[in-house]
Every structure is written in C-alpha cells, then in structure tokens.
Chains A and B, each alone.
Chain A
C-alpha cells in the first residue's frame, strides 16, 4: 500500500463547478501538506501549503487538512478551463526528512 493515495481520475466538470480533490495517507508523522498543479510535460507548480490541521484559502483555492482522519482536500471554486491539469498532493514530516511524498495525481478536465 502506498503512503499517499490519490484517485487518478480523470475528473470532468463543467466550467464554473466546484471541484473537490482528495488524498488519504497512512503516515501519522506527516505534518506538512502541499498541493501542486502540473500541466502536461511541465514541472509541478506549488498551489497551496498547509501546516498541520485546518483550512487555508487563497483566491479560488481552499486546502483542508484533517489529521485525525489522515485526509486532505483541495477545493477549486468557479473552475475554469485553464484549471485543466493534473493535481498532485504532497506531504512530509519535516523532522526526520524534508523529502516530499507525492500522490499519483488526479487529472482534472474543466469543460467550457
């Protein structure tokens, strides 16, 4: 079993919809959580960074972390066709190692 599980999709939604992307993890030592967006054949681009549990909002994006359930989410409001990409969750414990453990990514398609 992978340390971080993420539904690969694809997830197809109409323009303007609210998108919910999720990851589960098994390592209770993880305390830093990130979401990256990756366009085809490009490097990952950092979207959101969250420490420990709670919510964080940045424009149309909201990240949620529930450490008790080992579950993180990214919500995208008013989705746009330009949001079509692969979304990767990543996490680390930040104490024994700074390396990021990634999910396999969810491919999102926003239809005009």
Chain B
C-alpha cells in the first residue's frame, strides 16, 4: 500500500495524559498536512510542512500541540495534557510538489478519545 498511513488508528487516553500520533506520507510527497475533524464537521487545518520546515500553523494549534517532521519524511503530532475537547479524528494528508495548490491525499486518520 503506497498511500498515506497513520498510526495508531485509535487511541483512548485519560485527561491530562500526553499522546503522540505518527503519519507516513506518500513516498516523495514533500508537503505534509495535519487536520482535525470532529463529528459532523469538515476537517480543520492544523499545520503544514514543506520538507522538514513547518510553514504554517493554525490558531487551533494551542501550545499543548506540537508537530515535527525531522527528516522531511514522516511526521509526529503530540498533544500534551490532553483535554476532553481534544477528542476528534486527526487526519494527515500529503501532496507532491507543484505550482499552486496541489492535490492532497488523506490517510485513514487517528481517532482520539479523551476520557
């Protein structure tokens, strides 16, 4: 399977715990995006990398959230001191280089439940 992969697919945690998600983009895609989706809503942009550089962050990305893409390949999204409001589907997408907006391909998501 050469699509975007995410791990884990499901995560249940207690409030106050830290969690980390991983995203492996499609090979040779240099742009990687994180989105969050809550029930009944469309995905909301969190942050975006071009290679290893984090180029844009949403105001939704509070200081409890941090994302990295250390070698321009896979990326991690960490949430510290989780809150119940963090319960959502966290989606990763990747895209190939190109002019203008490129087509973003999404992974299956990581569903987070904070108890």
A, B from the same assembly:
yes
B100 touching A32, Cβ below 8 Å: yes
How many interface residues does A have (CB within 8 Å)?
A: 30
Decide if B65 is an interface residue (CB 8 Å cutoff): no
Interface with B: A11-19, A59-67, A73-81, A92-100, which one? A92-100
| Chain A neighbourhood of B48, CB < 8 A | 98-99
How many interface residues does B have (CB within 8 Å)?
A: 27
Residues on A facing B (Cβ under 8 Å): 4, 6, 8, 31-32, 34, 36, 41-46, 49, 51, 88, 90, 92-95, 97-105
Within 8 A of A (CB), among B64-110: 89, 91, 95, 100-109
A99 touching B56, Cβ below 8 Å: yes
How far is B111's CA from A98's CA once the two chains are assembled, in angstroms? 24
| Chain A neighbourhood of B45, CB < 8 A | 99-101
